[in-house]
Amino acid sequence: MDQSKTPYFQALLEYVDAGVIPFHTPGHQQGLGMDRAFREFVGDNICAIDLTPMPGIDDLLQPTESLKEAQELAAEAYGADRTFFLINGSTSGNQCMMMAAVNPGEKIAVPRNSHKSMLGGLVMSGARPIYMQPEVDEELHMDLTVTPQTIARTLEEHPDLVAVYIVNPTYYGITTDIEAIVELVHAAGKLLLVDEAWGPHFHFHPALPISATAAGADLCINSTHKMLSAFSQCAMLHQKGDRVRVDRLKAVLKMLLSTSPNLPMVASLDVARKQMATEGPALLSQTIELAQETRRRLNQIEGLYCFGKEIQGRKGVFDLDPTKIAVTVKALGYTGYEASELLRRRYNIQVELADLFNVVALFTIGTSRDAADRFVAAFEEMARDDRPVDIFAPSGILERRLKKGSYRLPKIAPMRMLPRDAFLADTEFVSFADSRGRICAETISPYPPGIPVISPGEEITGEIIEYLKLELKAGVRIQGPYDDELRKIRVVQASAAGGASLGA
Ligand SMILES: Cc1ncc(COP(=O)(O)O)c(C=O)c1O
């Protein structure tokens, strides 16, 4: 196929060129009815191609023309058998994968450090999760990946598993040995589903970890908007081989995707694929080089550490995505949250993620050398002994906690009910501080990275209460609970929880 073509984008341009008189949605009718200030800012062109599925424009839910060709081009570019465009991010991708692959009550092995959208998939599908513990790096305060050994043990202990689901890479850019995992899972006759939200670029450069499609996963999702150039919310779901029921997958997509997709977003997927297929290796070479050079410069600053190839080979670290730079700031006395706030307030720099010990910066094909220089210069100043006095000082919270040794990631809480059953059960609110022993009915995730510390169906342990209190004190944003400040938590009513049983 001709990868320089963008058939879907082209179809939208042809509609605009034809000067059709619109009596259809969206109501702003190519910008004419739109608030003027907004339209002037976003521009006429984006309004002109914000159309609706109709003859000549094709339909995301039933593609037969230009969109079918655009998805076929994407499948070829990614080495998949089929590719589906998604307009509600990898969040909808996770939900679709789960709904397509597992039935209520069927077992699926999942890492406990999955994104919260995987839990949404579990609630929707009614599947029974078998949680796998990823390796953990206590020094860096970071979850790593699930190893092939853990997968092999899980397959042995649960021969009735239907599928295995992994997150590869992690939010921090660490990958597992996915080829070994594909082999194990397929040898056992199970499906492998991969959340590759953070690796849409892997397929286009030999210096990056192997992609899920190249490794032979049955289903995988990419957040094209995260590391490539599509608009926010744009993602792709790739399918390969003959293990997945494609009719079921298509039915699920038709159920979960909007009937009114935003067409500039859909077109941006078509264009992002062309960009990678035609210029990806060259663009990514520059990005990788800039990221590696920046990592070297940051590592020369006393008090900072950015992990790199030297950790490869540790348990849970098979390969690394060099375009993500995690700067460990704990030796400066700052929490990652404090460093992130300082970067923003004083240096006008916004990072992707902060946690207790680290800030994470994404280097993408849009990162300029000037931006990288300013990032390094900011850290040079933050690390100086005689740093300006007006910058806020470390709160000391990290130091105190490190002394007390109470910074450990909490152990996985025992699962007392299926996520779906707990989510749908009768619930009540109790004080978070007094919730020990109760069954949680909501998902509580520091965001980013959006990995639940506790999720529906799990018992709230004392360790989890202490950990979340520490994260809240350190300034983390929490997503998921009904009560934003987590003074109260939604738990399963005692009467409903009393009979809770996970069965065999
Ligand atoms: C591992 C992982 N999977 C899925 C998602 C959801 O992706 P999206 O924001 O594209 O819906 C995220 C978001 O951060 C993520 O980190």
Residues 92-118: what's their mean pLDDT? 95
CA distance 212 to 217: 5
How many percent of the chain have pLDDT more than 90?
Answer: 80
Residue 327's pLDDT band, with cuts at 50, 70 and 90, is: very high
Is 115's C-beta closer than 6 angstroms to any atom of ligand 1?
yes
What is the enclosing helix (H) or strand (E) of 70? helix 66-78
Residue 311's pLDDT band, with cuts at 50, 70 and 90, is: very high
- 181 versus 402: the higher-pLDDT residue is 181
* Res. 161: pLDDT tops 70: yes
Q: Whose CA is nearest to atom 4 of ligand 1?
A: 90
In the prediction, which pLDDT does 397 show? 63
Say how many Å lie between the CA of residue 89 and the centre of ligand 1. Answer: 7
What domains, with CATH codes, occur in the chain?
59-277 (3.40.640.10), 278-401 (3.90.1150.150), 419-498 (3.90.100.10)
How many residues are present in the chain?
504
Omega of the bond prior to 26 within 30 degrees of 0, cis? yes
Per DSSP, the three-state class of 255 is helix
If one residue of 170, 219, 223, 360 were mutated to test the ligand 1 pocket, choosing by the most ligand atoms within 8 A of its CB, it would be 223
Is 90's C-beta closer than 6 angstroms to any atom of ligand 1?
yes
Is 197's C-beta closer than 6 angstroms to any atom of ligand 1?
yes
Residues 351-365: what's their mean pLDDT? 94
Residues 275-282: what's their mean pLDDT? 98
What atom of ligand 1 comes closest to residue 88's alpha carbon? 11
Residues 441-467: what's their mean pLDDT? 87
Residues 346-356: what's their mean pLDDT? 93
Is 137's C-beta closer than 6 angstroms to any atom of ligand 1?
no
Q: Whose CA is nearest to atom 15 of ligand 1?
A: 115
Residues 302-324: what's their mean pLDDT? 96
* Res. 460: pLDDT tops 50: yes
Structure token digits, residue 421: 């059953």
Per the rule left: phi > 0, alpha: psi between -120 and 50, beta: everything else, 189 is left
Say how many Å lie between the CA of residue 156 and the centre of ligand 1. Answer: 30
Is 167's C-beta closer than 6 angstroms to any atom of ligand 1?
yes
Least confident stretch, 21-35, 115-129, 372-386, 460-474: 460-474
Residue 140's pLDDT band, with cuts at 50, 70 and 90, is: confident
* Res. 389: pLDDT tops 70: no
In the prediction, which pLDDT does 133 show? 87
Say how many Å lie between the CA of residue 115 and the centre of ligand 1. Answer: 6
* Chain segment 27-51, per-residue pLDDT in tens: 999 999 999 999 999 999 999 999 9
Q: Whose CA is nearest to atom 9 of ligand 1?
A: 89
The CA distances from residue 447 to 7, 13, 40, in Å, are: 37, 38, 33
Is 89's C-beta closer than 6 angstroms to any atom of ligand 1?
yes
What atom of ligand 1 comes closest to residue 233's alpha carbon? 10
Is 452's C-beta closer than 6 angstroms to any atom of ligand 1?
no
Side-chain half-sphere exposure of 24, counting CA atoms within 13 A: 13
What atom of ligand 1 comes closest to residue 195's alpha carbon? 3
Per DSSP, the three-state class of 349 is coil
CA distance 111 to 116: 11
Per DSSP, the three-state class of 105 is coil
Is 367's C-beta closer than 6 angstroms to any atom of ligand 1?
no
Is 265's C-beta closer than 6 angstroms to any atom of ligand 1?
no
The CA R_g of the chain, rounded to the nearest whole Å, is 24
If one residue of 85, 98, 115 were mutated to test the ligand 1 pocket, choosing by the most ligand atoms within 8 A of its CB, it would be 115
Residues 332-339: what's their mean pLDDT? 89
Are 376 and 433 spatial neighbours (Cβ–Cβ below 8 Å)?
no
* Res. 403: pLDDT tops 60: no
